[in-house]
Amino acid sequence: MSADAPRLFDVEQVRQDFPILHQEVNGHPLVYLDNAATTQKPQCVIDALVEYYSQYNSNVHRGAHALSDRATAAFEGARRTVAKALNSPSPKQLIWTRGTTEAINLIAQCWARVHLREGDEILVSMLEHHSNIVPWQLAAQAAGAKVKPIPLNEAGEIDLDALREMVSEKTRLISVAHVSNALGSVNPIDRICALARDVGAISVVDGAQGIAHYEVDVQALGCDFYAFSGHKIFGPTGIGALWGRTELLDAMPPYQGGGEMIESVSFDGTTFNGLPYKFEAGTPDIAGAIGLAAAFDYLNQFSREAIQAHEAALLDHCCTRMAGIDGLRRVGNAQHSAAVFSFLVDGTHPADIGMLLDQQGIAIRTGHHCAQPLMSGWSIPGTARASFSLYNTLEEIDVLYEALSKVLTLLR
């Protein structure tokens, strides 16, 4: 097989790439179904981190020695790798951040606080993670603007007709998730971004979940900003990125002051560096960027269509099996959904389900999933959530079904 040929997607072989999966928890083989919170790391990502720290650990840029040259080459090579994966016109449009949260806060501080005026409106959907609500609230409060929620339909999808009615000359920014972390709903990003463009508003995409399941083409989406976290796509924690349109990034003031983001400093004034460094004050997460590029390289071995087909099969199998449990209902049933299954069971609390499943070695997530407005709007306390990734198997869903049946017998 040539170096450029895609690797055959075989889930059992894929699982061998992830060392953490091969252990027992509470005397049972680990079944890890909490991928929407964070994904596990393949050995090649772990190796990339170890190689950096053990062979060429050094600060980047301006170093006068070999280790710094190697670190800089790997660091900027990582930027090119990730930018190419997003189909960015230029690597300079990719800003390293700590993750989606910091990326959205950067836009809120450096674009929204500059451009918002009293009476302006920011539109965010009822699906959003708190990280895509609170920064806009802070920016709006400072400017006298308003944050308005875009309603959903009963399936947990953004109501596009309602959004069209909301969009007006007051709309300055629309910010939505590519994929809901709580429900798995896949939003029609290209259509939403087009609505923003029609009124001269800025579009922001929270891609924390989207990047994990789908190929992302920022040019095809037509967004102005796309934010994501590395740990959702098999990379390290503490690293992520913000992609933005060049003209917007150029016009924005810096996010933080310090080293690297300057061109010159004097007590008479400071001039700032160009993109992307204007937004990367201080020593960056060099190892994290290198590890994130390794994660993208790992994914690039496979056909993304094959991975999506595998994840769709997992979700279909889960829906079929869970339909056999009395009193269980799926929360959210979008026509287009990523591999996320949120559910409630009559007469049981999600936290109790999660605790008892853990005793059987099964890791799921319970609670409001940082989506309290969604849960409050639907008058539920939260959900139990099983979220799947490329290394999960149909057999693991069968294990979940059997364990959940046992749990509900104990709780009822």
**Residue-level pLDDT, tens digit, the chain, 412 residues:** 344 566 788 999 999 999 999 999 999 999 999 999 999 999 999 999 999 999 999 999 988 999 999 999 999 999 999 999 999 999 999 999 999 999 999 999 999 999 999 999 999 999 999 999 999 999 999 999 999 999 999 999 999 999 999 999 999 999 999 999 999 999 999 999 999 999 999 999 999 999 999 999 999 999 999 999 999 999 999 999 999 999 999 999 999 999 999 999 999 999 999 999 999 999 999 999 999 999 999 999 999 999 999 999 999 999 999 999 999 999 999 999 999 999 999 999 999 999 999 999 999 999 999 999 999 999 999 999 999 999 999 999 999 999 999 998 888 7
Work out whether the CA dihedral 220, 120, 130, 150 comes out positive or negative.
Answer: negative
- Is 370 tagged catalytic? yes
- Is residue 308 within 8 A of residue 242, CB to CB? The reply is no
Reading the block at residue 294, the tokens are 């390794």
Does residue 290 sit in the same domain as residue 163?
yes
Please tell me the predicted confidence (pLDDT) of residue 5.
Answer: 60
Locate the DSSP E strands across 61-142. 94-97, 121-125
Reading the block at residue 159, the tokens are 């109501």
Backbone dihedral region of 405: left (phi > 0), alpha (psi from -120 to 50 degrees) or beta? Answer: alpha
User: Against a cut of 0.75, is the pTM above it?
Assistant: yes
Regarding beta strands 240-244 and 225-229, do their DSSP bridges make them parallel or antiparallel, or are they unpaired? antiparallel
Does residue 349 sit in the same domain as residue 209?
no
Which residues, at least 6 apart from 382, have a Cβ–Cβ distance to it below 8 Å? 350, 366, 367, 368, 369, 375
Catalytic residue among 44, 193, 223, 370: 370
3-class DSSP assignment, residue 21:
helix
Long-range contacts of 401-406 (CB under 8 A, 24+ apart): 401/321, 401/322, 401/324, 401/325, 403/357, 403/360, 403/362, 404/322, 404/325, 404/328, 404/353, 404/357, 405/325, 406/360
Among candidates 362, 366, 345, which has minimal Cα distance to 396?
362
Query: Peptide bond preceding 19: is omega within 30 degrees of 0, i.e. cis?
Result: no
Determine the Cα angle at 259 with ends 255 and 265, to 5°. Answer: 95
Please tell me the predicted confidence (pLDDT) of residue 62.
Answer: 84
Does residue 56 sit in the same domain as residue 165?
yes
Please tell me the predicted confidence (pLDDT) of residue 1.
Answer: 39
Does residue 81 sit in the same domain as residue 192?
yes
Say if 397 falls within a structural domain.
yes
Specify the DSSP class assigned to residue 17: T
Does residue 321 sit in the same domain as residue 197?
no
3-class DSSP assignment, residue 95:
strand
Does residue 206 sit in the same domain as residue 68?
yes
3-class DSSP assignment, residue 265:
strand
Amino acid at site 169: E
Encode 138-152: b = buried (16+ Cβ within 10 Å), e = exposed: bbbeebebbbebbeb
Please tell me the predicted confidence (pLDDT) of residue 370.
Answer: 97
Half-sphere exposure of 47 (CA within 13 A, CB side): 10
Specify the DSSP class assigned to residue 8: P
Residue numbers of the domain that contains 401: 11-37+303-411
Please tell me the predicted confidence (pLDDT) of residue 7.
Answer: 78
Does residue 189 sit in the same domain as residue 257?
yes
* Rounded Cα–Cα distance for residues 50 and 47 (Å): 5
Please tell me the predicted confidence (pLDDT) of residue 63.
Answer: 85
* Rounded Cα–Cα distance for residues 285 and 45 (Å): 15
3-class DSSP assignment, residue 399:
helix
- The count of domains in the chain is 2
Strand ranges across the sheet with 94-97: 94-97, 240-244, 225-229, 202-206, 171-177, 121-125, 146-150
* Rounded Cα–Cα distance for residues 101 and 129 (Å): 10
Please tell me the predicted confidence (pLDDT) of residue 2.
Answer: 42
Q: How many residues does the chain have?
A: 412
Amino acid at site 233: I
- Pick the last residue of a domain from 236, 267, 299: 299
Does residue 28 sit in the same domain as residue 66?
no
Say if 42 falls within a structural domain.
no
Does residue 159 sit in the same domain as residue 233?
yes
Which residue matches tokens 């040929």? 5
